[in-house]
Amino acid sequence: MPLLIDGYNVLFCMGWVAPHKAAPGVLELGRRRLLGFLAASLPPQQRSKTIVVFDAAEAPSDLPRKFHYEGIQVLFSAQREEADLLIEQLIAQEGTPKALQVITSDRRLREAAQRRGATAMESVAWMEQLAQQRLQKPLLPPPPEKPESVPPEEVQMYLDIFAKGDPEQLRELWRPPQEETAEVKDDVPELPHDPQAQASNPYYPFPPDYFDDLEEL
């Protein structure tokens, strides 16, 4: 459903900006707050159908009268022209007015929307509804997709093996994979059998005169 939002009316009704008492720069902060809230709350397909209209008062000089923010179309009325007039023109130009939803608490604009068969909703009520919908969004990501099933030919292979009951095939089926064992290298040098090497080889394990005793045996 297309959305047509009376930007400053929403800001004033929500109390985010005080009407007619806004200090320099406050309106700009209010616009950014509203657009940020809409961008975070509306789904992408709805943002592309949303128009927010602001008065020309304190319109940014470095931005055109029409631009897009996160898919939302933002319009500023012309100099010395109220946003209400622009909103009325947009309502009148809407090709499918019965599908249009106008967000404003301005009675004149609500009546203009109703005359064309559009839906008009109070600013605060709509913002509260949008905030409630945002809170109800699931915080957890969707569950992972179901893993792919075993191919039918592999299932049939297992069924055939169990049906035959061949012990050798069953042993092969359930045999755990053999892990490759790394070759263990012994860094200890080969022990000499020469008794004379006892004193010079720290790894020699035999006691002195060990081989002499063996020869006597």
How far does Cα 43 stand from its chain's mean position?
Answer: 13
Q: Can you give the pLDDT at residue 203?
A: 45
Q: What does the pLDDT look like over 122-153, one tens digit per residue?
A: 999 999 999 988 887 665 566 667 666 767 77
Domain boundaries of the chain, sorted by first residue: 3-135
Q: Can you give the pLDDT at residue 195?
A: 54
Residue ranges of the alpha helices (H) in 68-164? Answer: 83-93, 107-115, 123-135, 152-164
Rounded CA-CA distance 179/128 in Å is 63
- DSSP-based three-state secondary structure for 216: helix
Mean pLDDT by 10 residues, the chain (217 residues): 93 87 78 93 93 81 82 87 89 93 95 95 94 75 66 74 66 60 52 52 51 53
Residue ranges of the alpha helices (H) in the chain? Answer: 7-14, 26-41, 44-47, 83-93, 107-115, 123-135, 152-164, 167-174, 210-216
Task: Kindly report the CATH number that applies to the domain delimited by 3-135.
Answer: 3.40.50
Rounded CA-CA distance 133/16 in Å is 20
| Alpha-carbon distances of 83 from 78, 133, 174, 198, rounded to whole Å | 8, 28, 77, 106
Q: Report the predicted TM-score, pTM, of the whole model to 2 decimal places.
A: 0.61
Q: Can you give the pLDDT at residue 56?
A: 77
